[in-house]
Structure 1
Amino acid sequence: MKTLNLGILAHVDAGKTSLTERLLHDVGVTDQLGSVDAGSTRTDSLALERQRGITIRSAVVSFVLEDVTVNLIDTPGHPDFITEVERVLGVLDGAVLVISAVEGVQPQTRVLMRTLRRLRIPTLIFVNKVDRAGADPERVVRAVVEKLTPAVVAMGSVTMPGTRDAHCSSWGPADAAFVDRLLDVLAGQDDGLLADWVADASAVPYPRLRRALATQTGRALVLPVYAGSAITGAGVDALIAGITELLPAGQGDVDAPVSGTVFAIERGPAGEKVALVRLFAGTIRVRDRVRVGAADAALVTAIRVASLGADVVASSVGAGHIARLGGLTEARIGDPVGVPPERAGAGRHFAPPTLETVVVPARPVDRATLHAALSQLAEQDPLINLRQDDRQHEISVSLYGEVQKEVIQATLADDFGVRVTFRESSTVHVERVCGVGEAVEVIAVAPNPFLATVGLRVAPAPTGAGVSFRLGVELGSMPPAFFVAVEESVRRTLRQGLRGWEVPDCEVTMTHAGYWARQSHSHGSFDKSMSSTAGDFRSLTPLVLMAALTSAGTRVHEPVHRFRLEVPGDVLGTLLPALTRLDAVPTDTVGHGTSYLVRGEIPAGLVHALERRLPALTRGEGVLETEFDRYRPVSGPAPTRVRWDNNPLDRKEYLLAVARRVGGR
């Protein structure tokens, strides 16, 4: 049986989880329809999810459509949990993007659609909530064409929208306007179809159009649009038929070498680590040993797969499936399993978190427990960027928004018995290298107290390139472990630049290397005082690197969001000065009847201030959309962040902390 790994994505409150529940009910997995409002949904299992009516963690449920097993993944819609969506994208065969028939295309809808198109994930659009007052499916379809992509085909019509009697009808070969639209959209991507259409439009049979629609949908060239209501069930049968007909099942050879990826980490009832793995090729059986990431091969102790709405124990799992694997104790999110898969869409797709906060335990004695608990949460969400400052005795995490605080707070209290509060959130800046800088310290030459020679050159790298480490010395000039120690120390040190912010993009070249070979006394015992160790290189590298960085110079950059703001025309005169006071820079103002559309950019740290002031500035009629754009140089005094390391910028302080002395040997 074929397998389709299907993601349900949407802006928050578009009805994504309700659609998941409707699909499970209509295909016979559940007898009773789950309700978000009643907290009875199958996929929202966390207490906080049920209380708030939002999805926080992705959930996998399974059902069968004809000869296809569908693994349905319900993802969060709230932008604070965008990392959950990011991890799911790399394992999908197809997606359903849900859009509200009332609110229409919303900020998160745009972000998701851009990513789906970039990753070429086959997608169906479902215009939900056609039964709600104010629903206008035709307006939403026009907005999709205008704001998302013109390559869409509406698959049916809705009568009596905005009422509980809203009815959805599918179009077919007898609907001339529908057939013409199909030809128009499909021929734009198919030269053969275009030639036949030009020669004689009536000679293109409808079955050929449906086959072309399935082909182009599977190649993510065309997006069919369905409409309906997850609550009443209207139009859902047509969507189910579309999933079966138009979305391609996963491909994979069960006899090939094992190849998969870890896209989520959970904890079992006894606290054991459970890895959620999408398998692209091969077969994994219980008691098999598989390699995960860079770690040694691990023994698979348990396999569970989704089946008809429940998790069931399995003895094996084959290509195309998603499974929960036990025994992979060193697994991390993003790790390849077996042979690294060649899959488009690996890596980061969304903006990084731009906020951070200090987590404060209610009782100081809980500090160690808090760190252990947050470490487990960081396994499930690596972008928390857990940081412990042993100097200030503080623990910090990164955030996408304030809702994450509530989730972390509730999880720590419920699952770990640790009550916490948070400091006010602050903006996360970065430092970018300005020029080229070099530094070197030579073994046995004062003031170097370490048995190591390290020379480093630092240069800027393009935005998004990351940190690269290169060797400008012969590979055989030192034991490999010493080079590894230098590179690891370089990457760790660059988490804090000259002003305490991370340096995300730069090239570091090792220009000098030297060591003292292993020394021993006549009786053969090891003389550590006369022999270089990896620890010497780990300790010396931060001093050299920060000296090179000081020579090169860095500049602090702040995160900036693009904004799109629709406001009544008569408030524009008072709005624009208010935007200026918030350091927002309007770049485009366009009139639309009695309203205006203002586009521009604003520092990420001031987005929440704009959101708070907007209702008063626009009589509650302003509609604001924002999303991360880039980092830009800070104007004025550069903000700094308190260091949590041993501060290699202060040589005396650093050596006292690391070597317990301040001079050479």
Structure 2
Amino acid sequence: MAKNISLARLRNIGIMAHIDAGKTTTTERILFYSGRSHKIGEVHDGNAIMDWMEQEQERGITITSAATTCEWKEHRINIIDTPGHVDFTLEVERCLRVLDGVVAVFCAVGGVEPQSETVWHQADKYGIPRLAFVNKMDRVGADFQRCLTMMRERLGANPLAVQLPVGSEGGFRGVIDLISQEMLVFDEETQGLTVSTEAIPEEFVEEFTAARMALLEKLADFDEGVMEKYLEEQPVGADEIIRAIRAATINLDLVPVLCGSAFKNKGVQPLLDAVISYLPAPSDIPPVEGVDKQGQVVSRKTGASENFCGLAFKLMADAYVGTLAFLRVYSGKISVGDKVYNPVKGKQEKISRILKMHANKREEVKELGPGDIAALVGLRFSTTGDTLCATGDYIVLDQMEFPEPVISIAIEPKSKADEEKLNESLAMISLEDPSFRVSTDADTGQTLISGMGELHLEIIVDRLLREFKVGANVGKPQVAYKETISSTGRGEHEFVQQTGHSQYGHVCLEVSPLEQGSGREFVSQVSAETIPAEYIAAIERGVYSSLDSGALLGFSVTDIKVALVGGSFHEEDSTEQAFGVATSMALREAMLAAEPVLLEPMMALEIMVPEASMGDVIADLNTRHAKINGMEGRDNGFQVIDAEVPLAQMFGYATDLRSASQGRANFTMRFANYAQVPRKTSDKIIQKVKGLI
């Protein structure tokens, strides 16, 4: 596996999908057919190679992104299998940041589901070429054409069917290749290892002819050679079609769509062929861009002769070697023993080992070149999103954005002996997962852990107890509220200390509300004669620090502009510390004057409900103060409800929904935005937090 391979024969891809679309099952078949594994692992049996964590095996879901490498037809494919549950969206985000192509797996029954949309738009953000694989064609309700329609309507994609299914549900027999113009049959006795070709069945010839014409017509829009032959009704060869599809895919004009049933061992080898044929090699992607010391945009071309440049996109704790830093190399080479520079931290790092990963197994290699993805051992300062470059060079690649947690729980050690172990374990998990936060409640002194949802925190607590063997008591989930202001306000404070070393700082601040989602902003409107620059820097630090604890209930403050509008200093007595204290007091006064309000996380909710249970489910949603945005009927007797609901109303919803629908309904939920809490509810929350009720 460690043999050298040309850049043109390398593919870095991710497998992404909504939960239960069959993403990990598809990856397991890829490993089996490529010879990387000699036995098919199954998610439902808890022995999938890519789901190696105990929690993944027990729940039958992917939680962390697992990396592996396989070879197919003299090409090397680095694969990252990503989670499909919304609570682990960050795992998908940081993997997409370093991938060149993506295979999006869709369920032939559910089509484009909520998390499919989320990860698709994440891929849009990074401009990543994609293939689509419509999986589970053997399931009742499977509909290939409806999936294509949903891709157009819900994703804004331009799907290009390169295959047709032969039958569906229990009658799914194989696929018709629209390019080679033949039917592919997958031998059940060899678990699909043997693929044979047959003539297209008579009853499918008409559908095939129309689909191939549609393919050529769409391709003609993007390729002059195909257009010429199509208009002149000349035959278009398979090689020419593949070349045109590849160019249009890399240019983000088209999304080739294939179909099959990974669980039934049908359609996976053509998917591997499509990865090689249509998705880009590292040499096909544009040079990676970053900034130099002066903030000027600089770039690095993919190539071994360029200066080394790479991105650490994930950190993982390892019981044997310490911390593993997963790295994507964009340019140049690195070897074991090399020293590299981290311009984000301003630190030099030494690479002690390089490991190619296969889920949780590893293979040692001596060097990495452009396009490679591997784990480094020995890095002491680097964290997720940091750039590494050659010593003496300087480039900082675009850094990652991490979502704000929306849910918290209190956690405390069971004994004094567990206290240190708990703190160390939480620090390690925080390093691995930037969407997980640890804080201390200013009033109670309790340790709070915060994450993206109930499942996210449930998994972390489970890891603490089992993997890190920490004895801990855990509280009930709490909503991560925020604060903002609803009007303008002014605050002023003069800090004077005359005992001991004299200190002086005088600050006048004005606050005003910003649009939702704007975050925080600080501006200085005073001259250097009023307050020198060194103290303005201290005031700015004091502002951002104080905004972590609002004037209403001590929650983080957002969507606020803070302006320094006045103040004074003493030549001898003024200190940064004095200005920090004055800033904190002035800001609190200003925020109280600006009518602070409470914000709560709102969740986008999509529920698939049997028509017979609609009345009960909607009645329950109304009690949760949900806003129903729409409903859509499905052919299988189900309705899809699209709603927005406060997170505070959703604890325990899974149990209530099962009860209301006799276990037949299911839902997905993702963070939408923060919104102001209604006054009546806000008053109750304030009283509860203050211990008045």
TM-score, normalised by the number of residues in structure 2: 0.81
Contact (CA 8 Å) 2:631, 2:641: kept in 1 or not?
yes
Corresponding residue of 2:547: 494
Please, which runs of 5 or more residues in structure 1 have no aligned partner?
Answer: 518-529, 645-665
Q: Which residue of 1 aligns with 2:626?
A: 584
Q: Separation in 2 of the partners of 1:219 and 1:134?
A: 34
* 2:481 alignment partner, one of 429, 433, 440: 429
Q: Secondary structure at the match of 2:504?
A: coil
Please tell me whether the aligned partners of residues 495 and 502 of structure 1 are also in contact (alpha carbons under 8 angstroms).
yes
Q: 1:359 Cα shift?
A: 1.6
Contact 1:8 1:73 in 2 (8 A): yes
Map 1:223-238 onto structure 2 (within 5 A). Answer: 223-238=255-270
Distance in 2 (alpha carbons) for counterparts of 1:294 and 1:516: 36
Separation in structure 2 between the aligned mates of residue 314 and residue 482 of structure 1, nearest angstrom: 51
CA contact (8 A) 1:151 1:185 kept: no
Q: Secondary structure at the match of 2:650?
A: helix
Cα gap change, 1:491/1:642 in structure 2, threshold over 3 Å: closer, same or farther? farther
**Residues 439-465 of structure 1: CA distance to partner in whole angstroms, max 9, x if unpaired?**
343464999984334343333333333
Matched residue, 2:564: 510
- The CA deviation at 1:228 is 2.0
Alpha-carbon distance change, 15 to 70 in structure 1, aligned in 2, over 3 angstroms: same
- Stretch of structure 1 that moved more, 429-438 or 127-136: 127-136
1:320 to 359, 362, 371: 371
Quick one: distance in 2 between partners of 1:74 and 1:641? 46
Give deviations 1:260-299, integer Å, cap 9, x for gaps: 3221111233563332222223333444443335322222
Percent identity, aligned pairs only, is: 26
**Structure 1 residue identity aligned to 2:348:** A
Match of 2:319 in 1: 269
Equivalent residue letter for 1:495: D
What is the SS of the residue equivalent to 2:111?
A: coil
Letter in 1 for 2:507: V
Distance 1:163 1:377 in 2: 45
What does residue 182 of structure 1 align with? 215
2:347 maps to which of 297, 320, 323: 297
- Tell me the SS of whatever aligns to 1:563: strand
1:143-199 CA distances to partner (integer Å, 9 max, x unpaired)? 4344334511222123353349732332226453233222343355x3857974885
Q: Structure 2 residue aligned with 1:544, among 571, 580, 586?
A: 586
Q: Report the CA distance shift for 1:292/1:508 in structure 2 as closer, same or farther (over 3 A).
A: farther
1:454-533 maps to which residues of 2 (within 5 A)? 454-474=507-527, 482-499=535-552, 500-512=554-566, 532-533=574-575
Q: Following TM superposition, by how much is the alpha carbon of 1:248 offset from its aligned partner in structure 2, in angstroms?
A: 0.4
8 Å contact kept, 1:460–1:507: yes
Report the Cα distance in structure 2 between the residues aligned to 1:505 and 1:288, rounded to whole angstroms.
45
Q: Which residue of 1 aligns with 2:160?
A: 153
1:387·1:396 contact (CA, 8 Å) conserved in 2?
yes
Choose from 38, 62, 78 the match for 1:71.
78
Once the two structures are superposed, residues 580-621 of structure 1 have per-residue CA deviations (whole angstroms, 9 ceiling, x without a partner) of 222112243566787655433222222345544334444555
Decide whether the 8 Å contact of 1:501 with 1:641 is kept in 2: no
Structure-1 residue corresponding to 2:198? none
Deviation of 1:240 (Å): 0.5
Indicate the residue corresponding to 2:54 in structure 1.
Answer: 47
Distance 1:193 1:385, change over 3 A: farther
In 1: Cα distance, 2:466 partner to 2:614 partner: 47
Matches of 1:82 and 1:547, distance apart in 2: 38
**TM-score, normalising length: structure 1:** 0.84
**1:600–1:406: structure 2 CA closer, same or farther, 3 Å change rule?**
closer
1:244 aligned to 2:257?
Answer: no
How far residue 387 of structure 1 moved from its aligned partner, in angstroms, is 0.6
| Alpha-carbon distance in 2 for matches of 1:361, 1:307 | 34
Aligned mates of 1:12, 1:592 — CA distance in 2:
19
CA, structure 1 residues 490+171, in 2 after alignment: closer, same or farther (shift >3 Å)?
same
Contact 2:13 2:101 in 1 (8 A): yes
CA 1:279/1:572 → structure 2, altered by over 3 Å: closer, same or farther?
Answer: same
Q: 1:476 to 1:31 in 2, by over 3 A?
A: farther
Matched, 1:210 2:239: no
Q: Cα–Cα, structure 1 residues 64 and 578, in superposed 2: closer, same or farther, change >3 Å? A: closer
Residue 439 of structure 1 corresponds to which residue in structure 2? 491
1:7 to partner: Cα distance: 0.8
CA distance in 1, matches of 2:530, 2:323: 41
Partner residue, 2:650: 607
SS in 1 for 2:374: strand
**CA spacing shift, 1:535–1:314, aligned 2, 3 Å:** farther
The alpha carbon displacement at 1:476 in A equals 9.1
Structure 1 residues 283 and 507: alpha-carbon distance in aligned structure 2, compared to 1, 3 A threshold: farther
Unmatched 5+ stretches in structure 2: 1-5, 182-207, 284-301
Structure 1 residues 303 and 427, CA, compared in 2 at 3 Å: closer, same or farther? same
> What is the match of residue 129 of structure 1?
136
